[in-house]
Structure 1
Amino acid sequence: MKAPPYEKLVFYEQLWSMLGDLHIGVFTVDSDRRITSFNRAAELLTGYKEEEVIGKYCHEVLINDLCRGECRFHEAVEAEQSSLSFDLEFSDRHFERRAITKIVTPLYNLKHDLIGCMEIFQDRSAFAELIDRVHYGERRLKIILDNLEIAVFTVTRGGLFTFFNTVAEKLSGFQREEVLGKPCSMLLGQGASLMRQAVDEEKTLSNKKGTLTAKSRRQIPVRGNYMALKNEKGRIIGGLATIQDLSLIDRLQRAINSKYTFGDMIGRDPAMQRIFDTVPVIADSEATVLIEGATGTGKDLLAKVIHNSSKRAKRPLVNVNCAALPDTLLESEMFGYVKGAFTGALKDKPGRFHEADGGTIFLDEIGDLPLPLQAKLLRVLEDKEFYSLGSRKTTRVDVRIIAATNQGLDRMVEAKKFRQDLFYRLNVIRLEIPPLRERRGDIPLLIDHIMGLLTTTRKARAQAISEDAMEILLGYDYPGNVRELENILEHAIIICQEEMIEPRHLPAFLKRRPLPEPHPRRQVESVRGADGEREKIIAALEKHQWNRARAAGELRMDRTTLWRKMKRYRLQP
């Protein structure tokens, strides 16, 4: 078949140039499946030169690798305007394995006659930084951008969103209809100024790290490339950005280094906000801190945040679980011993306080510390020194102490199970983390945060939670607090082999529990509402035929917030 006329390929030449800059391979075939073009990136990815493949049937060259042993040409034709996208691995000419995403899209002339097919393959192991020329007005470009495995969006010269691809939706939590026509600053923060700079100065800004504000208000670490968007006449009409999610890299790095920050603590509840407001001041001091809270509330995470926000952040944070070690080993583990201190002590061994010198020691479950050791700890707090087991010399240390308990030390003091003088020494600054049942408004935020963690690290299929499943999750009391919520979501993600988590994917014990009754003090408010809120919600629901997503959008609240308010006001269709 004769190659299509030049004027019919103007757009595709622009597209090839753009994809080449991105190191994305692209080739075209005619309706007989003979290769008619083969860009430089395709040469690099496959090892074949353009002159070696032009005019040959694509299946003679590539079917065993890029086509998975079957031709997708006719399948793409039958899909008409749609592009087919799938992932695979193949060996290039030099037998090097590559993981790629492949997109197949049919080509038509101006009369909509089939003239061939375009095949695009993106090496997922590396995504380059540069896009210089884009003819945005072409619909097929939007289809292709929508299938790339990277967040892509475009804006006007004034910074208003004009395109928002599927990956951008998944990354941000926003549907494209929620952001189109709105300023990009609502998501990008500092990235909005980079976009403006790229458009004003007509240049590309590459590999710029920053954060993206998701719909849940979670700050997502990203790397962005920002560039001016031109029409076919070379006139600047807006900007284009490609955004890469760095969450997994960031989480792994922080887990390796134990560098947890305020971004790792989730909560809008007033009690949590008070803690967040106080922690920077506490971290900047050298005061001893006592953290109280039920099991699973995140006391250890708060201790890490305080340490990593302090002047001691570059020194070690040493954890000691006072409940995990038997009494006979606890003293030697905490304070160390010298050679000959007991049978089997063949050499000196430093304790946890030695290891924490210059840094912070976190004494978890300090209520389980035996009374004799409480006296020794009191001396460390008062004099900054102690005797190692079997030693006649004191050891001085510069250590900040953060202690945590789930038992209530003041009650233990009254019961003579904890030394009163040690309690006063520990109780310089006292922080209490409320249980999850007392801050239900934070549950949707935590669910979104934990889902992001689990789906990123596990490559899970489940990406969302159905309304019915969410209602069950919102109605549970969580005696195990955040840790139990994490376990429940992990269970659901493992069981669910679909994109949406349904009630059947949740642990069975959740579905057997009745939903909690409304709090007595809120019953009057539940019926009447505050400031006519109930009537506003009813009006929005009726306007949108009780579609919760649309009603929540009009009311400018999260769907989960709307669900809770409907439950409080006893609203149902």
Structure 2
Amino acid sequence: MIRLSQSRYSVSFSQWLQILDELNIGAFMVDCRRRVSSINYSAQSLIGLRESEAVGRPCREVFMGVPCLATCMFKDNSDMADDENEIRIRDEFDEKHLFTRVATPVYDACRHIVGCLTIIQDQKPIADLIDRIRHEERNVKIILDNLDIGVFTVSLDYYLTFFNKKAEKISGYDRREVLGKPCATIFKGEASEDFCALAETVRNGITRSRRGKMITRHGETVPIHVSYMALRNEKETIVGGLATFHDLTLVYQLDQAISDRYTFNDMIGKSPAIQRTFERVHAVASTDATVLIEGQTGTGKDLLAKAIHSDSRRADRQMVKVNCAAIPESLLESEMFGYVRGAFTGADQDKPGRFQEADGGTLFLDEIGDLPLPLQAKLLRVLEEKVFYPLGSRRIMKADVRIITATNRNLRELVGKQLFREDLYYRLNVFRIELPALKDRRLDIPLLIRHIIRRLCAARNDRVIDLSGHAMEILLNYDYPGNIRELENILEHALIVCRDNLIQQNDFPEYLQNPIERRGNTPAGFSPAEETDEQERVNILRVLRENSWNRRKTAASIGIDRSTLWRKMKKLGLKFQR
């Protein structure tokens, strides 16, 4: 509603019309007789008439065929009020155009109606703009529908607003049945846990990426990599969320194929060094030859022994392991050969030894270099005569076992120092397999990392997570004095500490976060079969210092138990420091 004094009416309205002209908005004034009293240039252009042709004429003649009589303000003065509607106006060529019409009564100072001000705006530019927007929207949808990734969007209250064809294919849902529904009702099970991260993104605007699983409409589990981002308007206000996801099924299948190709009985590797080891395992496994495995601590000697046993004709029988360094010397003989009742105080019943337990199968003697000399002679007899005596018995027992031994020490050096029998050494060294250190098979590190993370995550019932590029670079360049066992410890530590879905450098143990100490202290050119006492002393001393002389942590880092560490420290002259 506009109030004007009659004396100032024409001047004020002229100024008003000029302002509207500047805004390219049509405006005209109709007096109480329903005749056009003023009209601006924009309105003249819209209806195709000059001012002289419009002013003074009834509005019905000027605006040909205007169907506005039903809402004419002059029909009932008492009901006059602001009015807005759409009208169609015929131009000079008798063509109809759609306009937005806003009309308001004009009063003088005495509340007498002096006319009606009408503003009209051609809707064609707006309609054209809407058409262009719709056209662009269609183009965007066509593009999104042809992407090879799933895409969907949600509103602020998490209702699905877009769902592309790839999303349909991966999820098994038709977009017509999901649009307008809460995303939580569509993505159920494990996927709902993954997709709730989208809600967090919508709340705080942080872009996220992760691996997860989607439960399809048909109940199938699909591995996916999903990314989330917030949708914002021109004012940078969050108006919804966007999720894109890839089907990783083929990636996992290819990954499994690669793992199968480079896996041998739970041992993984594609490097030339480990492939040569696998070839030697294949060659000897089918025989009953005694095998000597040499390698640094943590290189996987246990796994290699299991691989030989699993590939042999004895695979359906037991493989029994004896750690010669972990059992006290006083108990080792009875542990290996067993004893009969009364053999010593407390022996109140017969007890079979490891040779009897392994009958028909394989006996794996780990840390053979730590076997005491008296027992070396008895082991030699078993190897030569295939018989043994349980402790306290005169009855001969036959030993139908295959012997596999392993050591991280240089047996030749021990023979020279008269700490290991030469005749036993030659009996054990029928077929020697050397396990390379991890630093000598760097090609295998990415495969091992992926394998170890999957195994650890499966044990924790967690989703598999990845490493950042920088974290991977650190692991690829580290020398691993503790070899594969140390790599396992590093990754387990990282999985415990990691609070995101990507392992970073600061998730590693502290010693890996110092660039100066990232590389191991293993001497250059050092071979697994040549670990001298001095080199072992240097390595153990370094790990002790890294762990502030904590024996439990040191033993865990090296991959041995505390009693073995204590014996090694005693043998190597390492005194405990507080």
TM-score normalised by length of structure 1: 0.51
Residues 1:114 and 1:360: Cα distance change in structure 2 (over 3 Å): closer
Root-mean-square deviation over aligned CA pairs: 3.7
Q: Structure 1 stretches of 5 or more lacking a match?
A: 1-71, 84-102, 125-142, 154-164, 175-186, 188-211, 221-260, 522-573
Paired with 1:461 and 1:296, the residues of 2 have a C-alpha distance of 27
The answer to whether the Cα contact below 8 Å between 1:107 and 1:116 also exists between their aligned partners in 2 is no
Residues 1:416 and 1:122: Cα distance change in structure 2 (over 3 Å): same
Residues 1:445 and 1:320: Cα distance change in structure 2 (over 3 Å): same
Paired with 1:445 and 1:309, the residues of 2 have a C-alpha distance of 23
Alignment-mate amino acid for residue 158 of structure 2? A
Paired with 1:380 and 1:334, the residues of 2 have a C-alpha distance of 11
Paired with 1:474 and 1:354, the residues of 2 have a C-alpha distance of 44
Of residues 141, 148, 157, the one that matches 1:75 is 157
Give, in angstroms, the shift of residue 410 of structure 1: 1.1
CA displacement, residues 450-484 of structure 1 (integer Å, 9 cap, x when unaligned) = 11111222233561100111111111110000000
Residues 1:371 and 1:116: Cα distance change in structure 2 (over 3 Å): closer
Aligned residue number for residue 318 of structure 1? 320
CA displacement, residues 416-437 of structure 1 (integer Å, 9 cap, x when unaligned) = 1000000000000000001111
The answer to whether the Cα contact below 8 Å between 2:359 and 2:400 also exists between their aligned partners in 1 is yes
Residues 1:396 and 1:121: Cα distance change in structure 2 (over 3 Å): same
Is 2:192 the partner of 1:151? no
Aligned residue number for residue 276 of structure 1? 278
Residues 1:118 and 1:416: Cα distance change in structure 2 (over 3 Å): closer
Aligned residue number for residue 355 of structure 1? 357
Paired with 1:520 and 1:395, the residues of 2 have a C-alpha distance of 48
Give, in angstroms, the shift of residue 385 of structure 1: 0.3
Paired with 1:115 and 1:370, the residues of 2 have a C-alpha distance of 74
The answer to whether the Cα contact below 8 Å between 2:222 and 2:247 also exists between their aligned partners in 1 is yes
CA displacement, residues 12-49 of structure 1 (integer Å, 9 cap, x when unaligned) = xxxxxxxxxxxxxxxxxxxxxxxxxxxxxxxxxxxxxx
Of residues 207, 214, 220, the one that matches 2:255 is 214
Paired with 1:431 and 1:422, the residues of 2 have a C-alpha distance of 17
The answer to whether the Cα contact below 8 Å between 1:361 and 1:399 also exists between their aligned partners in 2 is yes
Residues 1:375 and 1:520: Cα distance change in structure 2 (over 3 Å): closer
Aligned residue number for residue 503 of structure 1? 505
Alignment-mate amino acid for residue 222 of structure 2? A
CA displacement, residues 140-184 of structure 1 (integer Å, 9 cap, x when unaligned) = xxx98599761389xxxxxxxxxxx95852x66x3xxxxxxxxxx
Give, in angstroms, the shift of residue 370 of structure 1: 0.5
The answer to whether the Cα contact below 8 Å between 2:366 and 2:406 also exists between their aligned partners in 1 is yes
SS of residue matched to 2:320: strand
Alignment-mate amino acid for residue 346 of structure 1? D
Paired with 1:333 and 1:115, the residues of 2 have a C-alpha distance of 68
The answer to whether the Cα contact below 8 Å between 2:319 and 2:363 also exists between their aligned partners in 1 is yes
SS of residue matched to 2:499: coil
SS of residue matched to 2:404: strand
The answer to whether the Cα contact below 8 Å between 1:107 and 1:117 also exists between their aligned partners in 2 is no
Is 2:383 the partner of 1:302? no
Paired with 2:256 and 2:321, the residues of 1 have a C-alpha distance of 35
Give the 5 Å matches for 1:25-424.
75-77=157-159, 79-81=160-162, 119-120=185-186, 145=216, 150-151=221-222, 168-169=247-248, 174=251, 212-214=253-255, 217-219=258-260, 262-424=264-426
Residues 1:115 and 1:356: Cα distance change in structure 2 (over 3 Å): closer
Aligned residue number for residue 491 of structure 1? 493
Task: Pick the structure with greater CA Rg.
Answer: 2
Paired with 1:116 and 1:328, the residues of 2 have a C-alpha distance of 70
Paired with 1:344 and 1:452, the residues of 2 have a C-alpha distance of 47
Residues 1:512 and 1:123: Cα distance change in structure 2 (over 3 Å): closer
Alignment-mate amino acid for residue 414 of structure 1? G
Of residues 469, 472, 478, the one that matches 2:471 is 469
Paired with 1:117 and 1:328, the residues of 2 have a C-alpha distance of 68
CA displacement, residues 97-152 of structure 1 (integer Å, 9 cap, x when unaligned) = xxxxxx9999659xx9959999447677xxxxxxxxxxxxxxxxxx9859976138
SS of residue matched to 2:424: helix
Aligned residue number for residue 433 of structure 1? 435
Alignment-mate amino acid for residue 374 of structure 1? Q
Paired with 1:328 and 1:152, the residues of 2 have a C-alpha distance of 55
Paired with 1:520 and 1:343, the residues of 2 have a C-alpha distance of 52
SS of residue matched to 2:363: strand
Q: Structure 2 stretches of 5 or more lacking a match?
A: 1-153, 165-170, 191-213, 225-243, 526-578
Paired with 1:464 and 1:147, the residues of 2 have a C-alpha distance of 28
Paired with 1:363 and 1:426, the residues of 2 have a C-alpha distance of 11
TM-score normalised by length of structure 2: 0.51
Paired with 1:409 and 1:520, the residues of 2 have a C-alpha distance of 21
Give, in angstroms, the shift of residue 497 of structure 1: 1.8
Paired with 2:179 and 2:507, the residues of 1 have a C-alpha distance of 47
CA displacement, residues 385-434 of structure 1 (integer Å, 9 cap, x when unaligned) = 01111111211120000000000111111111000000000000000001
The answer to whether the Cα contact below 8 Å between 1:290 and 1:402 also exists between their aligned partners in 2 is yes
SS of residue matched to 1:361: strand
The answer to whether the Cα contact below 8 Å between 2:494 and 2:503 also exists between their aligned partners in 1 is yes
CA displacement, residues 499-539 of structure 1 (integer Å, 9 cap, x when unaligned) = 1111111111101143659x999xxxxxxxxxxxxxxxxxx
| Percentage of pairs with the same residue | 52
Residues 1:106 and 1:267: Cα distance change in structure 2 (over 3 Å): closer
SS of residue matched to 2:352: coil
SS of residue matched to 1:504: helix
Residues 1:121 and 1:418: Cα distance change in structure 2 (over 3 Å): same
Alignment-mate amino acid for residue 268 of structure 1? K
Paired with 1:262 and 1:371, the residues of 2 have a C-alpha distance of 35
SS of residue matched to 2:326: coil
Alignment-mate amino acid for residue 151 of structure 1? V
Aligned pair count reads 322
Paired with 2:334 and 2:478, the residues of 1 have a C-alpha distance of 43
The answer to whether the Cα contact below 8 Å between 2:318 and 2:361 also exists between their aligned partners in 1 is yes
The answer to whether the Cα contact below 8 Å between 1:321 and 1:363 also exists between their aligned partners in 2 is yes
Paired with 2:373 and 2:317, the residues of 1 have a C-alpha distance of 29
Paired with 2:500 and 2:289, the residues of 1 have a C-alpha distance of 50
